[in-house]
Structure formats: structure tokens, C-alpha cells
Amino acid sequence: MTTMAAATSRIASTVDLDAPGLRHGYLKLPHSTHDSAYGWIPIPVTVAVGGSGPSVLLVAGNHGDEYEGQIALMKFVRALDVAALQGRLIALTAANFPAVMAGRRVSPIDGGNLNRAFPGNASGTPTEMIAHYIESVLLPRCQYCLDLHSGGSSLEYVPHVHARQPDDEERRAMTLKLIAAFGAPYGGLVRPLQGEPRTLSAAAERLGVIYLNAELGGGGTISHELVTMAEAGVRRALAATGVLPAHPSTPPARTMRPFSVEGTANYVYCLEDGLFEPFVRLCDDVQPGQPAGALHFPDTPWRREEIVRFESAGMVLCRRFPGWARRGDCLYQLASLVT
């Protein structure tokens, strides 16, 4: 654990995190403003403890504009049967609550991106305080963490589940077992760019917690099909941990296509501001040098379009969603299918 995370959190839970039973309440994040001098931000939390078994942290709303996971987890929490439990579930359905209520990736209070804020800061901005609480209070209680994302407003993803490549063989086997159990159409292990240490995934790795990241659609919209997939996936992954029995109305996992994402060549970036006309679709297989799309320049309409090309082969795992693209925006991410 880092020095930062060792400081005592200033967030207080209205519910006991450890006692048996099912409780819904709030994490009270102190936030003193012009309108509310002694106020706090209410981050919803559900804790269910029963029998004996592992502890699992369920997270949605890590990014506020990624909705399928939030809805799936709300439905799951409302239907939770604590009598069937063998262990503990801690659910944050709206982890970065200010971002969730604003329908934005980042918090409107501090501009904070929760998934770039770990290990956080006990006395930092609201987003930093949430990250710190998760890393110093919640994750140390857990053996597993399921984190439900989607592409949000700026990306659209092929529905899939991924995890950082674990070094340890046992953790790697369990991670792959849970990815398969979730049952999304695609799943695999990834190496984060520059070893990114600020994500919940990195925090879980620091604490030896087995972690899955679901990516479910995107574009800032909601798909009923993907909500259903997410809820079933969570139930199947939880059954694989042993914390809950298999749910009678949840269908078995479909066959999943494995993939990997390694290195910067898997990413295509925009190098000028313009309107991006994509030439390929999600799930398309592409080759190095293949045109990825054309960039048009409304401020200089007579200028010839710039053709953007793929640098490596792979399957299109995600694409930029809005039409306008600026220098530095990610246009595509590719995955290498494992045969």
C-alpha cells in the first residue's frame, strides 16, 4: 500500500461494511460549499454479508457517462438475496457520484476522472477522496473486483471483458476463468500503456485483488441488450467466485473469443483537428497500412482530406464516437484475436 493510501479516509459509511446482513446507505464525502457549509456528497453503497466465502467489490459509475453497468448493478442490488450469499458483496453503483448525476465521464466538481485518480488522496478533491477510500478501505477487504465500464460519450466498444495481464500464474488462471464466466462476446488480457498506475485496475493489482473490467457499448447511450448482458455477466462471474450460487434465470455463458491488446501500435490517434469519416466498423479485421478513415477540414474546405492509416493488424475493438476529432484523440483501438 502506498503512503497516500495509508492516510485515514475522511469518508464515513452510513452502513457497516463487515456485519452480517443486507444494508443500503451512503458513503458520506465531506464537501463544504457556498450552498452547504457542512454538507456531504452521498455516494450510494450496498453491503451484503452472509455465510463464509470471498468478498467482492462491484463498481459501476467509475465514469459517469457509462450507463449499462450502472443500470445492471442497480437491478442486481435490488434483487439481491442475502440468504444465498457465501461471503460479502460491496456494491458502488455510482462510484464517482457527482459524475454519474451529471452524466459525464468526469466530475463536474473537480474535473476528476476517478479511473485516473488512484491511489487518491485522503484530503484531496472529491474524486481523489473517492479513489483513496476505494483503495484504502474497500479493496483491502476484497479478493475480487468487477468494474463495469463502457465507451462513454467519446468511444464505442465491442462488448467485452478485459483485465491487466497478471504476472502470477494462479491469478492469471483465475482472471481468465472469471472473464470466461462473464460471457461477453470477447475477452482478454491487456497491457496498459506506460503501465498506467492511476486506474482501479492498477489499485486492485497493488492489493492482490483479482479484477475484471467490462466494456459495454458506449456513445453515451443505453442498450437494453447490453444491460441484460452485463447483469447476466455479473451473476455468472460471481457464481465463479463462489460468493453466490448460479442464478436460475441466468443463461449459461456464450462462447467467448479471446484477444490481447499489447503496445501503442494497437491505437490509432488523430494528429489534426477535423471531421473524421471512419472507413471501418467495430469487429472489422484490418491490416497495416489499410486506410482507417479520412479527416476533413471545414475551416479550409478546399484542402484535400488526410487519410489516416492503421499501423498494425487486428480487430477493431473500439472507435471514436463523435464526428469531430482533435489532435491527440484516440480514433480506434485494435485487439489481436488469439487463435
Q: List the helix and strand counts (H, then E) for the chain.
A: 7, 19
Given the rule CB under 5 A, which of 142-150, 236-244, 263-271, 309-317 is the region that contacts Zn ion?
Answer: 142-150
Name the residue whose CB lies closest to Zn ion: 149
Q: Within 10 A of 338 (CB to CB), how many other CB atoms are there?
A: 10
Q: Which is nearer to Zn ion, 73 or 308 (CB)?
A: 73
Q: Which is nearer to Zn ion, 79 or 193 (CB)?
A: 193
Q: Which is nearer to Zn ion, 63 or 236 (CB)?
A: 63
* β-pair type (186-190, 160-164): parallel
**Residue 101 phi, psi (nearest 5):** -70, -20
Given the rule CB under 5 A, which of 43-51, 66-74, 139-147, 183-191 is the region that contacts Zn ion?
Answer: 66-74
Name the residue type at position 318: C
Query: Which 22-51 positions form the footprint of Zn ion (CB under 5 A)?
Result: none
162 binds Zn ion (CB under 5 A): no
Q: Within 10 A of 286 (CB to CB), how many other CB atoms are there?
A: 20
Residues 231 and 159: their CA atoms lie apart, in Å, by 13
Of 42, 40, 44, 23, the closest CA to residue 31 belongs to 40
63 binds Zn ion (CB under 5 A): yes
235 binds Zn ion (CB under 5 A): no
Q: Which is nearer to Zn ion, 113 or 136 (CB)?
A: 113
Find the shortest distance in angstroms from Cβ 258 to Zn ion.
Answer: 22
Given the rule CB under 5 A, which of 60-68, 116-124, 294-302, 313-321 is the region that contacts Zn ion?
Answer: 60-68
* β-pair type (330-337, 55-60): unpaired
Find the shortest distance in angstroms from Cβ 157 to Zn ion.
Answer: 9
Residues 40 and 123: their CA atoms lie apart, in Å, by 14
Residues 100 and 113: their CA atoms lie apart, in Å, by 12
Given the rule CB under 5 A, which of 25-33, 64-72, 154-162, 200-208 is the region that contacts Zn ion?
Answer: 64-72
Name the residue type at position 288: P
The 3-state DSSP class for residue 232 equals helix
Binding letters toward Zn ion, positions 255-294, x by CB under 5 A: ----------------------------------------
Given the rule CB under 5 A, which of 149-157, 165-173, 300-308, 324-332 is the region that contacts Zn ion?
Answer: 149-157
149 binds Zn ion (CB under 5 A): yes
The 3-state DSSP class for residue 313 equals coil
Asked if residue 163 lies in contact with residue 190, where contact means CB atoms within 8 angstroms, the answer is yes
160 binds Zn ion (CB under 5 A): no
Q: Which is nearer to Zn ion, 66 or 135 (CB)?
A: 66
Interface positions with Zn ion (CB under 5 A): 63, 66, 149
